[in-house]
């Protein structure tokens, strides 16, 4: 419960919320849960509450709004997945395809906003240039997909044949195609006409980390 | 988040109405001792109690037992709570408290012959052991 103190949450309200979560988790059949289960549920509640921006609301209302936010984020993430797949880059490692296809399909099938909203379930083996390490749950998946779309679109802007020349022939190796392309653009002094502000910002940040 | 001692004590004293017909009752002093033991059992088992009612269900199920006597009633309850939470840890998270309590009472009065040690040694919801029929007996039946 230390987290609740750090966040300045009302302990009474949090206890009531946790009673409700535990009751739902056990289907109302048990009066106690194992400590690790309790901590997992508490982590999920804190994750959900964090998604509500209005801290003045009662905790139960913050939780309710957080849940609505998760539902919205799930819808946005599903849409982003469709776009990421539609814009997929061809010159990629095996991990790219595995993450985008089987991995993401499994996520949307198994994600549980009720008991484990904080879990993102996937290891996201295809690491992005600006990987959302700091995020969790559907928030992480959604950010991952939005950033992947930017990387995909950037790759389509590269001069024809560039990626074929620079990606490793062994596709089992894990490499980030966008980073390889960005490095090649910088080294060759290629000029790209980036009109999208989000992409321009992403490229700038990624270039700093090369 | 566990229930406070005073709430558990009140629940135990209220359950005297369930046990009284069987000649069993807790004094205020006993109730305080059992409440403390119950809370300790919850802690020891590494569980968090978020809702009450277990003490009443346990007393309701065990009071009719011919093996429980008034002189050891409080101590028996303390042990039963310990066993209950130990057994809970071996069951799925959504396993009903009531079912476990009924099973415990049935086993205690039946195959355990009133022995708390024997009850503690059982695996929750374990089927009663029955001797395998002798091969000769099987043949004889055929």
CA distances from A90 to A32, A34, A96, A127, B86 (A): 52, 47, 10, 16, 56
Task: Tell if the CB–CB gap between A30 and B95 is shorter than 8 Å.
Answer: yes
Within 8 A of A29 by CB-CB distance, chain B residues are: 94-98
pLDDT at A28 over 80: yes
Within 8 A of A36 by CB-CB distance, chain B residues are: 46
Average pLDDT over residues B110-129: 86
With CA atoms as reference, the chain B residue closest to A41 would be B48
Q: How many CB atoms lie within 10 A of CB A9?
A: 19
With CA atoms as reference, the chain B residue closest to A29 would be B96
Could you say which DSSP state residue B110 is in?
Answer: T
- What whole-number distance in Å separates Cα of residue B7 and Cα of residue A154? 63
Q: What is the pLDDT of residues A133-155, one digit of tens each?
A: 999 999 999 999 999 999 999 99
Q: How confident is the model at residue B128 (pLDDT cuts 50, 70, 90)?
A: low
Task: Tell if the CB–CB gap between B52 and A23 is shorter than 8 Å.
Answer: no
**Overall pTM surpassing 0.90 (yes/no):** no
pLDDT at B129 over 60: no
Rounded to a whole number, what is the distance in Å from the CA of B94 to chain A's nearest CA? Answer: 4
Residue B22: alpha-carbon gap to chain centroid: 17
CB hemisphere CA count around A15 (13 angstroms): 11
Q: Does B93 touch chain A (CB under 8 A)?
A: yes
With CA atoms as reference, the chain A residue closest to B97 would be A30
Structure tokens of B138?
A: 């099987």
Among A15, A32, A39, A42, which would you mutate to test the B interface (most chain B Cβ atoms within 10 Å of its Cβ)?
A32
Q: Does A19 touch chain B (CB under 8 A)?
A: yes
Per-residue pLDDT at A7:
64
Average pLDDT over residues A147-173: 95
Q: What is the pLDDT of residues B47-64, one digit of tens each?
A: 999 988 899 999 999 999
Q: How confident is the model at residue A66 (pLDDT cuts 50, 70, 90)?
A: very high
Q: Does A15 touch chain B (CB under 8 A)?
A: yes
Q: Does B88 touch chain A (CB under 8 A)?
A: yes
Per-residue pLDDT at B131:
52
Structure tokens of B112?
A: 């355990």
CA-based nearest residue to A77, from A41, A38, A35, A113: A113
- What whole-number distance in Å separates Cα of residue B19 and Cα of residue A159? 85
- Tell me the ipTM for this assembly: 0.83
pLDDT higher for B3 or A83? A83
CA distances from B136 to B129, B131, B133, B139, B142 (A): 20, 14, 8, 5, 10
Per-residue pLDDT at B126:
66
Within 8 A of A1 by CB-CB distance, chain B residues are: 1
Q: Does A37 touch chain B (CB under 8 A)?
A: yes
Q: How many CB atoms lie within 10 A of CB B86?
A: 15
Within 8 A of B89 by CB-CB distance, chain A residues are: 34
Cβ-Cβ contacts under 8 Å between A and B: the total is 62
Three-state SS letters, chain A: CHHHHHCCCCHHHHHHHHHHHHHHHCCCCCCEEEHHHHHHHHHHHHHHHHCCCCCCCCHHHHHHHHHHHHHHHHHHHHHHHHHHHHCCCCCCCHHHHHHHHHHHHHHHHHCCCCCCCCCCCCCCCCCCCCCCCCCCHHHHHHHHHHHHHHHHHHHHHCCCCHHHHHCCCCCCCCCCHHHHHHHHHHHHCCCCCCCCHHHHHHHHHHHHHC
Q: What is the pLDDT of residues A5-15, one digit of tens each?
A: 456 788 899 99
């Amino acid at each position: 419960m230390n987290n609740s103190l750090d966040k300045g949450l009302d302990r009474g309200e949090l206890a009531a919320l946790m009673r409700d979560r535990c009751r739902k988790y056990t289907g109302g059949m048990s009066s106690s849960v194992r400590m690790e289960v309790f901590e997992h549920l508490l982590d999920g509640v804190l994750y959900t509450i964090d998604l509500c921006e209005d801290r003045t609301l009662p905790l139960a209302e913050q939780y309710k709004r957080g849940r609505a936010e998760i539902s919205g984020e799930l819808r946005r993430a599903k849409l982003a997945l469709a776009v990421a797949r539609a814009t997929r880059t061809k010159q990629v490692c095996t991990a790219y395809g595995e993450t985008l296809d089987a991995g993401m399909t499994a996520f949307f099938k198994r994600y549980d906003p009720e008991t484990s909203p904080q879990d993102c379930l996937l290891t996201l083996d295809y690491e992005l240039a600006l990987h959302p390490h700091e995020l969790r749950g559907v928030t992480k998946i959604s950010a991952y997909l939005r950033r992947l779309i930017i990387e995909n679109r950037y790759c389509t802007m590269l001069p024809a044949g560039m990626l074929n020349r620079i990606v490793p022939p062994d596709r089992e190796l894990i490499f980030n195609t966008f980073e390889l392309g960005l490095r090649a653009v910088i080294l060759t002094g290629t000029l790209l006409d980036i009109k999208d502000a989000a992409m321009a910002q992403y490229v700038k940040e990624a270039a700093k980390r090369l | 988040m566990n229930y406070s001692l005073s709430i558990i004590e009140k629940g135990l004293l209220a359950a005297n109405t369930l046990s009284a017909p069987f000649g069993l009752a807790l004094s205020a002093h006993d109730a305080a001792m059992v409440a403390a033991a119950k809370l300790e059992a919850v802690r020891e088992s590494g569980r968090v109690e978020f809702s009450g009612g277990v003490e009443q269900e346990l007393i309701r199920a065990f009071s009719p037992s011919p093996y429980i006597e008034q002189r050891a009633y409080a101590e028996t309850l303390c042990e039963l709570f310990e066993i209950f939470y130990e057994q809970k840890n071996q069951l799925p998270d959504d396993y009903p408290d009531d079912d476990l309590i009924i099973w415990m009472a049935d086993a205690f009065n039946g195959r355990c012959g009133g022995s708390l040690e024997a009850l503690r040694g059982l695996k929750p919801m374990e089927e009663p052991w029955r001797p395998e029929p002798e091969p000769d007996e099987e043949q004889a039946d055929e």
